[in-house]
Structure 1
Amino acid sequence: MSRKWITPIIYTLITLAIFYVGVQMFTNTSSFLSSIIMMIGFAALIYGAIYFFFLRHRTSAPTNGKEMKKYKQAVKQSKQKYKPTNTVKAVKTKDSTSSKNPSPFNSKKNKRKNSPNLRVIQGNKNSKKDRASF
């Protein structure tokens, strides 16, 4: 019941505001434009303050939570997997082993160490049709 008398008041205020904006636009254009720019600036400042103090923490909370923890753990595992082993020793031994021919056994061992872990899935090989019987 109380809403029936509020809606005409709101429509009247909106109509008066539109009328006032039209009158200001045609009679005093420079002050109208400056007041519009000031209103936009104040609205941007208020929105920025609300975002900075209230909304920024809400939107960044999920990324700082479980997702960020999982991401950091994955990065750590990746660095451990692909980190170069003994970089200082490798440089020193490279100079001393450059005069010698490296054995093929060592290169195969290094290739196997860095190769990805692959698994062979064996299917049913006996189910092939014999083409000679056709």
Structure 2
Amino acid sequence: MADIKFMNLSENGNPATTDSVLIGNSQDGMKRTTLGTIGNMFAVHSALHFEEVSVSTATNSSKITDPNVEIGLSYDITAPTISGYTFECWIGSQSNGFIATSYVNSKLNMQSQVWIKAFGRDLTVANNSITATALYIKNELA
């Protein structure tokens, strides 16, 4: 027969993760485990994941007729497929290398567009880009 340790029983309104409880099943019988171990079973680690998608603004430079005029252009973006995660939405966009206003059209679609309003000269520089951030949720939670 297995050794069973008996403990003094008392109510504790503040259990700690190091406190033990008895668990059991028909395959393994009774065992003692900590509340921390049980809590880890239900913990979801890395529940959220973020990906940044960048596009060079120079890809649409042929649409700029006057570099000194403010212009609105759209750039196609596609959220990558991430193993173990489900795409939820785009959570923001930004310009890199210059100042502009931007927004993501169709925030709930993996394939969307970022619209940007800036001076044409800023949109022709090869190092300038726009970035959108995609939010993913772990598959177990989606």
Query: TM-score category by the smaller chain?
Result: under 0.3
More strand by share: 2
TM-score (norm 1): 0.23
Look at both structures and tell me which one has the larger radius of gyration over its CA atoms: 1
Report which structure shows greater RCO (CA 8 Å, sep ≥6).
2
More helix by share: 1
